[in-house]
Structure 1
Amino acid sequence: MQQQSAGRGLRIAAWVLAPLGLVLVLGAVGGIVLGGGLDGERFTVRGEAMRPTYSPGERLTVMQVGEGEIRRGDVVLVSVPGRYGNAPVVQRVIGLGGDHVESRDGTRVLVNGKEIDEPYVMRDKFAPAGAPTYDVTVPEGRLFLLGDHRANANDSRYFLSEQSGSVAASDVRGRVQDESAMSLWPLALGAFGALLTLVGVGLGIGGYVAGRRPGARMR
């Protein structure tokens, strides 16, 4: 009797785990087919301003983000009226509204008096002769943006007469996503689903065998 109950329990677990695993596998396949689950604006990098982080010709996925969700260090796609021929550009958020941003030597950047760590900046061509210095307070509702390739980026440093070089947070079209990380979730989901399916099948077989044993039947 105990063996019969155990066999029934194993079969019930199999009926739950195997279909769930199959659903997860199908979801992972769908995510891969649809581009890793990313559903946003696609943008092609055209210039050198964001090297080495992003190179010309690289395709990026940009997801919409609320103005209040923008953080320092984010890479954003902006369309600034009157700049860059009104074409969208990708730049990095250095300062938010109210931040004091300065660079006294054109290289090191301080935000609110603290030098920030910038491992993303291209160092071999970091600061050409005559790199602009600046000492600004970012107006509320606006952002101070820089390119990662400081020697070849036409960013907030060159528009200081226009509200301290800042751009309106409302000009942000979206945040650039880390696709290398995002693209891993379908694979992980598929592997987990396949594992659940195998476990479910194994439990089903075990339950069937337990239920068929002579000792599992009442005499």
Structure 2
Amino acid sequence: MDTEAQHTERDRSSTPEEGQEEGSRSTHVPATTMSWARAVLLGAGATVALLLFSAFVLQPFLIPSGSMEPTLRVGDRVLVNKLAYRFGSEPGRGDVVVFDGTGSFVQEAPRENTVTTLLSGAAASLGLTEPAETDFVKRVVGVGGDRVVCCDKRGRVEVNGTALDEDYLHPGDDPSAVAFDIVVPAGTLWMMGDHRSNSRDSRDHLGQPGGGMVPVDRVVGRVDWLGWPLGRLGSLPGTGAFAGVRPTGAAHG
């Protein structure tokens, strides 16, 4: 009987209590695995937050061409203020803006693979790759109701009868090698690049549907800052070229 009692006690002591060793083995996760999972979740959350910020507030934009030189150079990364025109304000003369040229500069959007479009769109929205083929950056020269003419006797662009002293033009460029005389319809904009001899802008679409005018609701935002390279970091230079332009119909003294 003593022997049986000893065996019973030995068996009980060798059996793990419920919720101790066996439970620990079944629920234990290596610390390294938890660290990696946490890092992945944090990275995904940060990326989503950055994409949302880029989509609604401030978007980096990679300059792909020299059409806006010397104001913007190839490879510059600018910051586009998407709130600039969200609360009743509209683009003004002299603003440098990013816009979707579908229907004005590009008559039909190119067809792409859905997955490829999403990935390239996400990368472009972070300023990592060139923007979509339908996205452009130009300067607003005329707003709704303006009469924009080129050129006067001195070769200058006129807006509502006022000749512009365009201090932002690329050195050596004429204001325009193409003559035009247009009135900008309400709700649209007349866009031109600063490097006039190297810019396909509203002038190149005069004979097409829309006449080169860009609808205001196609404007993505205003270029307010240069974010890269570091040597050019800062706010975009302003211009006084349009200071003397009067609203449509205003009499000249």
Q: Same fold (TM over 0.5)?
A: yes
Question: Which residue does 2:117 correspond to in 1?
Answer: none
CA 127–182 in structure 1, closer or farther in 2 if over 3 Å, else same: closer
Matched residue pairs, number? 145
Q: Helix, strand or coil: the match of 1:92?
A: strand
Partner Cα separation in structure 2 for residue 182 and residue 138 of structure 1: 29
Select which of 95, 117, 134 maps to 1:87: 134
**CA drift at 1:107:** 4.6
User: Could you state the TM-score of these two structures normalised by the residue count of structure 1?
Assistant: 0.60
Q: Using the TM superposition, name which of 115-124 and 81-90 deviates more.
A: 81-90
Identical positions, percent: 37
For residues 121-140 of structure 1, what are the structure 2 equivalents within 5 Å? 121-126=169-174, 131-140=177-186
Partner Cα separation in structure 1 for residue 234 and residue 64 of structure 2: 23
For residues 5-154 of structure 1, what are the structure 2 equivalents within 5 Å? 40-64=58-82, 65-66=84-85, 68-82=89-103, 83-84=105-106, 86-104=133-151, 107-126=155-174, 131-154=177-200
1:137, 1:164 within 8 Å by CA — same for their partners in 2? no
Query: Structure 2: which 5+ runs fail to align?
Result: 1-49, 111-132, 227-232, 237-253
2:156, 2:175 within 8 Å by CA — same for their partners in 1? no
1:174 matched to 2:221: yes
CA 77–46 in structure 1, closer or farther in 2 if over 3 Å, else same: same
1:158 matched to 2:179: no
**CA drift at 1:153:** 0.4
Q: Helix, strand or coil: the match of 2:220?
A: strand
- Please say which structure displays the higher CA radius of gyration: 2
Higher helix share: 1
Amino acid at match of 1:167: V
**CA drift at 1:62:** 0.2
CA 182–157 in structure 1, closer or farther in 2 if over 3 Å, else same: closer
Q: Deviations for 1:167-215, whole angstroms, at most 9, x for unmatched residues?
A: 10111000001344459xxxxxxxxxxxxxxxxxxxxxxxxxxxxxxxx
Partner Cα separation in structure 2 for residue 136 and residue 87 of structure 1: 24
Question: Which residue does 1:8 correspond to in 2?
Answer: none
Amino acid at match of 1:46: P
CA 127–100 in structure 1, closer or farther in 2 if over 3 Å, else same: closer
Partner Cα separation in structure 2 for residue 46 and residue 159 of structure 1: 20
Q: Helix, strand or coil: the match of 1:157?
A: helix
Q: Relative contact order: is structure 1 or structure 2 higher (C-alpha 8 Å, sep ≥ 6)? A: 1
1:136, 1:164 within 8 Å by CA — same for their partners in 2? no
1:126, 1:149 within 8 Å by CA — same for their partners in 2? no
Partner Cα separation in structure 2 for residue 63 and residue 127 of structure 1: 27
Partner Cα separation in structure 1 for residue 160 and residue 65 of structure 2: 30
After superposition, the CA RMSD in angstroms is 2.6
User: Could you state the TM-score of these two structures normalised by the residue count of structure 2?
Assistant: 0.52
CA 40–107 in structure 1, closer or farther in 2 if over 3 Å, else same: farther
Question: Which residue does 1:23 correspond to in 2?
Answer: none
Question: Which residue does 1:187 correspond to in 2?
Answer: none
